[in-house]
Chains A and B, each alone.
Chain A
Amino acid sequence: MTMKTRKSIFIASCLLPGLFLFLLFKVYPTLQIFQKSLYLWTGLSDKPKFIGLQNYTDMFHDDTFLLSLKNTGLLMLVVPIVTLLIALVNASILTKSKLKERNIYRTVFFFPSILSFVVIAILWSFIYHPTMGFLNSGLEAVGLDKWALPWLGDQRVVLWALAVTLIWQAAGYYMVIYMAGIDGISPELYEAAELDGATRIKQFIHITIPMLWEIIRVTIIFSINGVLSISFVIVSVMTAGGPDHHSEVVMTYLYSQAFTNSNFGYAMAIGVFIFVISMILALLSNKLTERGTD
């Protein structure tokens, strides 16, 4: 046996178990989702009925689904943009200024990322508590009684209230990623810019952002996908989709169709739809941000 074949056998034997597990636990279930989305199935019986693409056409006549899609879309648009902006600005301030407390801030801002999502949701439902909550008590204390709304019970503001929670949860995490990135930028660039008389803001725009661009591109995709999955926990705990579905997101709707309405096939169709949408979004954001690297 040559050295080469022995080497490839070794590599194959290292890869095969992992590949097998990957196929079994990732690829097979995913294919199942595609297949089951074509059936009328309660998720319990062993006799699903084939109905072709009807689950998909039904989706667009389902007002609640469309509302939840709109809500998710809004969150996916607002939350990543605001989160990443805040993270970027904070990271830049903390690395470039000579703050003595920068390590404390770094820890404090990162804190939400190590808390469980459920804990965060409970914490924020008490912050938004209509009578004894931190937010409304604060507003009343400074004489802004009129602004004190029942945040999670008012269909006009509930989504924004949830968006704030999502941003608070994620901003620290991306900040730490950006800080690591900024630390990797050569200090000479900043020194040169400073000698040329560039202000801090100009340095931020012309050095920090372009040098971090590749990292930013990745975090945009992370953040969009994060909104999809984290919104499920936050909404389930904080509002249960209420009032009247105005904070329903596609993931909570998928769950309720699958497990409370016993519409597994339909829920799978929603799942496939979300899968396609997030793929498109990821590709789109990748394409749109590509110019920056040239």
Chain B
Amino acid sequence: MSKKKWITLAMAAVFLTLPLAGCGSNNTSNNAAPSATAAAEASAEGSASASPGAAAETFGNPELNIAVFQGGYGRDYWDSVAAEFMKEYPGTKINITASPKIAELVRPKIVAGNPPDFMYISGSDNTPILDGLVKDKALLDLTDVFDSNTEAGTPLKLQILPGVLTSSSIAPYGDGKIYLAPYNFGVMGLWYNKNLFDSKGIATPKTWDELFADNAVAKENDRALFTYQGLYPGYLEEMIVPAIASAGGQEALDQFFNYDPEFWKSETYTKVWGLLEKIATEDNALMKGTVALNHTQSQTSFLQGKSMFIPNGTWFEDEMKDAPREDGFQFGFLGVPSLGADGKVMALTQVEQMVIPAKAKNPELAKAFLKYLYSEKSIKLNAEKAKGVMAVNGAPDLVKEYISETTYNIYKAVDSGMVAVSGSFKPVAKGSKFNASDEVYKPISSIMSKQLTLDEYSAKLYKVYTQIQKELQEQGQQ
């Protein structure tokens, strides 16, 4: 082989190994424990400044491994809150693993029986791993953390937004025990262009009838009434769930989320899915081509003034900050109109989840860390670094200076007057082939393109719910 060929080969080998090297490096960073002297100093200071309870506590195992989702909120918060925690609990050491694909990183560790001590899992790519852990009953019971007193002397659970701790996304087994801790909360509903409504003197609709009446206004302004994230009909949950609450109250929501097949024969069903059918059939109601658009494409169309309303959550403004838009566009949050005449506007709320695996090596320290996250210092830090609003009472006001005005107003609206609705599907039986949210929302695409009637749809879901119920009962007997 000639010399030249050898060089080429060597170069090829180098280039081939480069991407491999890239795979190998991960996002783990060691926030090294403060050196011995620094720790000693810190403890000396700690006894003077930090809360007396904290400084006295020592942990048999001072090392904590946490894995966090690095998404829209970034990882700055986790870096700084870990630093603060280590300052207040001298001698402890927190290792942070952060990634947008955190589930992929922790999955092998969980399978190997060596999970991180604490995990914050979010983002639709990652959250399924939580469902798996819930099905396996592999999470640590956190009820005692929320029962314990805060520095103010009241139980921590009173500090959390009402209703959150009893929802099935936090207490998944219906026995009131908390296995997933709430982190940031988001508000979802319909959005509109505030500038258009203000300048044309259009009133925001308070009922669905008013909303459909706005179709004429929409047509005058050269746009459709409604669009949604076509390829991902799951986004429609943001208006369907509040509409169910509006039509049938908590009882109907329980039927819907806990798989009572009779829901699909109820009046609530007819009313709520009637709205979808109306959107599908009425002239100019659904933006042309919506069913074939992905979330970015449909949201861009909305910003460009092709549609009057779109469902989305508090992250909308940030998500679309670089997207083109019509002149003067301003984000306005409507919530979800009421089905009755009372005009009580609703909104869907959802919390992100943090967990401690049952097999965590250091559950004591993980619990202390979790509790620390709900301190005022941490809540403010979270707003400053992550622009997130935690699911605790009064959080919006506590963090007002750090979040945008639109976002603040949405949280304020939910705090005062707008009815917050929350809920999530009960976990299905282990080994079930059904994914409840897919079964319910995916066929809506076909309803929207008029290739599936409401009767066919409800008949199918009646069967699915019956089956899911049956599987849950069989599991219960085992």
Q: Does B230 contact A (CB under 8 A)?
A: yes
B233 and A257 contact, CB distance less than 8 A? no
Q: Does B451 contact A (CB under 8 A)?
A: yes
* Contact (A130, B136) CB under 8 Å given A261-B433, A263-B431: no
With the chains together, A239 CA to B131 CA distance in Å? Answer: 24
B111 and A46 contact, CB distance less than 8 A? yes
Q: Does A152 contact B (CB under 8 A)?
A: yes
Interface size class of A (residues with CB under 8 A): 35 or more
Give every chain B residue within 8 A of A183 (Cβ-Cβ): none
* Nearest opposing residue in chain A for B289, CB measure: A130
B107 and A262 contact, CB distance less than 8 A? no
Interface stretch of the complex, out of A36-44, A73-81, A173-181: A36-44
Within 113-142 of A, Cβ neighbours of B (below 8 Å) are at 125, 128-131, 136
Q: Does B406 contact A (CB under 8 A)?
A: no
A59 vs chain B, min Cβ distance (A): 9
Q: Does B232 contact A (CB under 8 A)?
A: yes
Give every chain A residue within 8 A of B230 (Cβ-Cβ): 150, 153
A242 and B431 contact, CB distance less than 8 A? no
B433 and A58 contact, CB distance less than 8 A? yes
B76 vs chain A, min Cβ distance (A): 28
Give every chain B residue within 8 A of A130 (Cβ-Cβ): 288-290, 292-293
Q: Which of B131, B136, B451 meets A45, CB within 8 Å?
A: B136
A44 and B292 contact, CB distance less than 8 A? no
* Nearest opposing residue in chain A for B294, CB measure: A125
* Nearest opposing residue in chain B for A40, CB measure: B431
Q: Which of A44, A129, A262 meets B289, CB within 8 Å?
A: A129
A154 and B135 contact, CB distance less than 8 A? no
A96 vs chain B, min Cβ distance (A): 34
In the complex, per-residue mask of B105-117: 1 if CB is within 8 Å of any chain A CB, else 0: 0010011110000
Q: Does A260 contact B (CB under 8 A)?
A: yes
In the complex, per-residue mask of A145-173: 1 if CB is within 8 Å of any chain B CB, else 0: 00000111111100000000000000000
Give every chain B residue within 8 A of A196 (Cβ-Cβ): none
In the complex, per-residue mask of A240-258: 1 if CB is within 8 Å of any chain B CB, else 0: 1111111000000000110
Interface hub of B111, B132, B230, B434 (most chain A Cβ within 10 A): B132
A44 and B132 contact, CB distance less than 8 A? yes
Q: Which of B113, B133, B297, B434 meets A129, CB within 8 Å?
A: B297
**What are 13 A-B interface contacts by the 8 Å CB criterion?**
A42-B136, A51-B431, A150-B230, A150-B289, A150-B292, A153-B290, A153-B291, A155-B449, A244-B443, A244-B446, A261-B434, A262-B131, A263-B432
Interface, chain A (partner B; CB < 8 A)? 40, 42-46, 51, 58, 62, 64-65, 125, 128-131, 136, 150-156, 239-246, 256-257, 259-263, 265-266
Known contacts A40-B431, A151-B292; 14 additional CB pairs below 8 A are: A125-B294, A131-B289, A150-B291, A150-B292, A152-B292, A153-B231, A153-B292, A154-B292, A242-B442, A243-B449, A259-B103, A261-B434, A262-B136, A263-B431
Interface, chain B (partner A; CB < 8 A)? 103, 107, 110-113, 128-129, 131-133, 135-136, 138, 230-233, 288-294, 297, 301, 306, 430-435, 438, 442-446, 449, 451-452
